[in-house]
Amino acid sequence: MVAAIQEAIASVQDVKVLDLHSDMDHNRSVITFVGPPAAVEEAAFRGIARAAELIDLEEHTGEHPRIGAADVVPFVPISGVDLDDCVEIARRLGRRVGDELGIPVYLYEAAATRPDRQNLENLRRGQYEGLKAEISTNPDRQPDFGPSRLGPAGATVIGARPFLIAYNVYLTTSEVDVARRIARAIRHSSGGLRYVKALGLEVDGRAQVSMNLTDYRSTPLPRVVEMIRREAARYGVAIHHSELVGLIPQEALVDAAVWYLQIDQFTKGQVLETRLAEVVRDDSENQDLVDQGFLDALAGATPTPGGGSAAAYAGAMAAALLVMVARLTIGKKKYADVEDRMREIERRAESLRRELSAAVAADAAAFDGVIGAYRLPKDTPDSQSHRAAAIQSATLQAAEVPLVVTQKALELLELAGEAVEHGNINAISDAGSAAALAVASLDGAALNVRINAAALADRWIAADLVRRIDAIEAQADRLRPGIRARIATRGGLSPA
C-alpha cells in the first residue's frame, strides 16, 4: 500500500523520493521527496489521490493522531524558492484536491487562512472520528476547500513551513504517564522550550516522547535532549534510545556534535564534506553558463517543454538582467538619488526570476496534464464524462500558467523602463535587453493562453482569458515606444 503511494509520487518527472519512514505502532508513514515546484505539486496530488484510494480511515488505528489518509502535506523551501512560493503551491493544491478528489482540505502553518489553524494539533483535535461528527455542523470545522463531509479518506491538511525535525526519544520504562509528563514539561504550549511540540505515547511496549522541532536553529537539538534527560531523572528513568522520522539537516547534527564535544573554535569549513562541496560549487560556477540541459530538452521530439516554457525562461532571463543592472547601479555616488528605488527593483526582479524559473517546469507539467487527460478511457458514458471534465480542467490550467507569465512579464517591462531611465548608463544595453526579453516572454506566453482558451468549452471563461490578455498586451504596447526612445536618447543612438 505505502509502496503504491510512493510509486505514484515518483511517477512525476524530476521528482526524487529521498526517504520513506514507516512505523507499525504509529501506523503512519512519512515520504520525503524533492523536485522543481510544479513537479512537486503534481507529485503531492498523485500521492494524495493514491492514498485516498487505498486507505480507509474507518478501519485505521494507531498511536499517532490523524484525520486523513493523506494526513498532512507540508511544502518546505529548500533551494530557489521561498516560503511565499510554498504558500502559493499549498493553496493551489488544496483547491485542486478539494475540487477534483472531493476531500476536505485545511490549510496550516504559513498557508493558514485563520490564526487558529496555523497549528496542526488544532486541526487534528478529536482526530478523524471527532472531525467526522463535527465537520457538517460546527462552523469552526468547515474546511478551506472541498466538501463539508468526510469520506473514508478523511481530510487532508496542506501547508507551508520551514524544515522541522521529527524526533522521538524512548525511555527506560513502559509507563506512558512518565512520557506524557516529560512531554508537558518540554513543549512550548505548556511552558517548555520554544519551537518544540511533544506528545507522550506508548510504542513497542516502551514510553516514548514524540516531538516535532520546528526551528532547530533557535532551539538546538542537544538542548532538547538534555532537558528530556533531566526530566526523566526526576522519575528514576533514563533515555533508552532515540530515532529520527524522515530526514535531518546536516547542520543540526553538526551543531549537536559541536555542543557535546565542546569544540569552541569550530567553523563549518572544518567539516570535510562541507569543504569539498564548496570546492565543487566554485568549480561549477566557472563551467559553461548555458543551461544545455534545458536547451536539449527544448529541442527534443517531445511536446514538453515547449513554447510556454521558453516564454517563462525568457522572462527569467529578463529578470536576471534587471537584477544585474540594479546591482551595477547601487553604491555608485552618481546614482545615490535612485539607490533606494534600485534596491527595490533588485528585490522584486530577483523574486520574479525565481517565480518565472518555476514557471518553466509549471508550464510543461500543465501541458503534460492535458496530454494525460486526453489519454483517459472513454469506453462508457461515465468515463467519457470524466474524461471531458478532466480535459477541460487540464486545459484551463494550461492557460492559467502562461497567463501568470504574461502578468509577470508586463511587470518586468515596467521595471526595465525604470532601469533604462535611471540605471547605470554603462549597463543601458543590458536594461534594454531585459526589456526585449520581457516582450518576448509576454508575446510567447500570450499566444499559449489564446491557443488553450480556444480549446475551452466554457466560452465565458475563454472570453475572460482573452480579455485579460488583450489588456496586458495593450499596456505593453503603451510602454514599448517610450523605452525604445529613452534607450536611444541615453545611449546616444539614432531612434529606431
* 152-188 pLDDT, tens digit each: 999 999 999 988 899 999 999 999 999 999 999 999 9
CATH 3.30.990.10 is held by the domain 2-160: yes
User: Which pLDDT score is estimated for 280?
Assistant: 62
Which architecture, in CATH terms, is 165-248?
2-Layer Sandwich (3.30)
User: Which pLDDT score is estimated for 281?
Assistant: 59
Burial state string for 250-287 with b = 16 or more CB within 10 A and e = fewer than 16: eebebbbebeeeeeeeeeeeeeeeeeeeeeeeeeeeee
**pTM of structure:** 0.54
* 191-232 pLDDT, tens digit each: 999 999 999 999 889 999 999 999 898 999 999 999 999 999
User: Among candidates 412, 404, 297, which has minimal Cα distance to 353?
Assistant: 412
Q: Would residue 64 show up in a list of annotated catalytic residues for this protein? A: yes
Cell 485545511, residue located: 106
CATH of domain 292-491: 1.20.120.680
Domain locations in the chain?
Answer: 2-160, 165-248, 292-491
CA distance 435 to 298: 23
User: Which pLDDT score is estimated for 24?
Assistant: 66
Angle (CA) 90 94 100, round 5°:
140
Intervals of the chain under pLDDT 50: 285-289, 495-496
**For 156, how many CA atoms within 13 A lie in the half-sphere containing its CB?**
31
Under 8 Å between Cβ of 319 and 347: no
Residue of 64, 188, 240, 386 marked active site? 64
CA distance 122 to 130: 12
User: Which pLDDT score is estimated for 286?
Assistant: 47
CA distance 443 to 464: 18
